[in-house]
Amino acid sequence: MKTSNKKCLMNNVQCLMKSTNIRTSLSIKHLTLNILTLLMILTAVQNKANAQQRVLTLQQAVDEALKNNGNIKSANYSIDLQKALRRSAVNIDKTNITISQGQINSINYDNNLNISQRIEYPTVYKNQLRLADERIKGSQYQLAVNQLDLANNVKAAYYQFVYYINKRQLLYAQDTLYSNLVKASAARYRTGETNLLEKATSETQSLEIKNKIQQNESDILIAKQQLKVLLNTRDDITVADTLITKRNIEMPTDSNVIAAHPILKYLQQQIEINKKETDVQRAKRLPDFLAGYTNQSFRGIQNVNGVNQKFTGLDRFNSFQVGVAIPLLPGGYKSKINAAKINEQIAATKLEYEQTVLGGQLNILLQQYYKHKSAVSYYETTALPQADLIINNALKGFKSGDLPYQQYQQSLAIALKIKTDYIEAIYQYNQSALAIESIIGIK
C-alpha cells in the first residue's frame, strides 16, 4: 500500500513538473514574441522619426518661410484685394427706372415710364483708376517689407539655433574635463593626498556644467520651435550648419544705401496714394451729368392742331431730359480736399522720420559690427591659442603633481571662459551683420 502511494506520488510530481515545464516554455515563447513585437514597433517609430527630420541650409530655410509663412500669404491676398477693388474704380451709379400709374393728366388713368442715369465727370473715374493702381503698388511694397522682415527673422533664428548647437559641443567638452577632474579628485581623496573640500568642489563644478547642458538643451528646443513657427511647418527640422562661422557681408560705402529699404519705398508710395486721393476729391467738385427718358400715355380726347382726337393706352408719348448737377455749397468738398492734403503731409513726415531713424540705426550697427569684429579677431589670433595652451599645460601639470588643484581649477576656468566668450562673440558679430543687411534691404 505504501509502495503504491509512493508511485502515485512520484507520478503526480512528474506530471506536475511536466505541466510546469510546458507552461514555462509557453510563457518564455510568449514573452519573446512580445519583446520582438515591441522592438519592431520601436524600430518603425524611430525610422519614421528619422525620415521626418529635415536638414535645412540657411537659404532653404529662408525660401521655405517666404513660401509658407502666413503673414506672407496674407500680404499676397492684400494685393489680390486691391486688384479686385480696381475693377470698382469706374463705379457708375445705378440706373433709375420708375413707373407711375394713375390720373396723371385727366380723370382717365394713364401710366408713365421714366428711365434716368447719373454719371460723374469722367475725370473722377480716371483719377479713381490711378488711385487704385497706386494702392496696388502700395500693397506690393508692403509685401516686400514683410518678406524682408521675415527673411531677417529666419536668419536670426537660424544663427541662434547654430549658436546653441555649438554651445552644446563646448559644454560637452567641459563636462568631459570636469568629469575627469572628479575622478582624479576622488582618487586623490581615497589615497589621502587631498581633503574632502577638493572632492566636493570638483563634484559641484561637474554638476554645474551638467545643469548648463540641460539648460542649453531647452534653449535648442526653443530655437527650433521659433524656426518652425517662421517656416510654418510641423516637421522635425535641424540646421545643416553645425559649426558657427562668421557671416560675410559687404560693408555699405554709399551714404544713401538705405534708400533701397522696402519700408522707405512703401512710405514713398503712401505719399503717392494720398496725392491721388487728393486728385479724386478735387475731381468730385466737377459737375455730374444726368440723362433721362420718359414714355407715357394720354388717354381721352386731345385737341391736336384744332382737331379733337381720341387716344388710348396704346398711344405713347416720349420725352428726353439732360442736365448737370453742380455743388451749390462746396464746403464739404473743400474739407475733403484739405483732409487729403493733410494725409499727404503725414505720409511725407513719416518718410522723413523713417529715413532719419534708419540712418541713425545704420551708424550704430556699423559701430557694433566693427566692435564685434575686433573681438572675434582678438579671440582667433590671440585668446584661443592661449586657451588651448593653458588647458594642455594645466592637464599635464595636474597629472604630474606639479600644479596644485586650486591653480589647475583656476587655469581651467579661464581657458573655458575664453572659448565660451569666443562663441558668444561670433554670435553677436553675426547678429550685427544680419541687422545691417536688414537696414540696407538685403533678404
Per-residue pLDDT 10s for the chain (443 aa) are 444 444 444 444 344 344 444 444 445 555 555 565 566 565 554 555 555 689 999 999 999 999 999 999 999 999 999 999 999 999 888 999 999 888 777 788 888 899 999 999 999 999 999 999 999 999 999 999 999 999 999 999 999 999 999 999 999 988 888 888 788 777 777 777 667 877 788 888 889 999 999 999 999 999 999 999 999 999 999 999 988 999 988 877 776 788 889 999 999 999 999 999 999 999 999 999 999 999 988 887 777 787 788 888 788 889 999 999 998 888 888 999 999 999 999 999 999 999 999 999 999 999 999 999 999 999 999 999 999 999 999 888 888 878 888 888 888 889 999 999 999 999 999 999 999 999 988 88
pLDDT of residue 7: 46
How does pLDDT run across 202-217, given as a tens digit for each residue?
A: 888 889 999 999 999 9
Task: Give, in degrees to the nearest 5, the angle at Cα 175 between 173 and 177.
Answer: 75
Q: What does the block give as the cell for 198?
A: 577638493
Exposed/middle/buried for residue 103 (C-beta within 10 Å: 0-12, 13-18, 19+): exposed
Q: How many alpha carbons fall within 13 Å on the CB side of residue 129? A: 8
- Could you give the CA distance from residue 186 to residue 190 in angstroms, rounded to a whole number? 6
Taking the whole predicted model, whether its pTM rises above 0.85 is answered as: no
How does pLDDT run across 115-168, given as a tens digit for each residue?
A: 999 999 999 999 999 999 999 999 999 999 999 999 999 999 999 999 999 999
How does pLDDT run across 246-302, given as a tens digit for each residue?
A: 998 887 777 678 888 999 999 999 999 999 999 999 999 999 999 999 998 888 777
**Quick check: 150 and 69 in contact, CB under 8 A?**
yes
- Could you give the CA distance from residue 344 to residue 269 in angstroms, rounded to a whole number? 11
Query: Of 153, 354, 158, which is closest to residue 261 (Cα–Cα)?
Result: 354
pLDDT of residue 67: 95
pLDDT of residue 186: 79
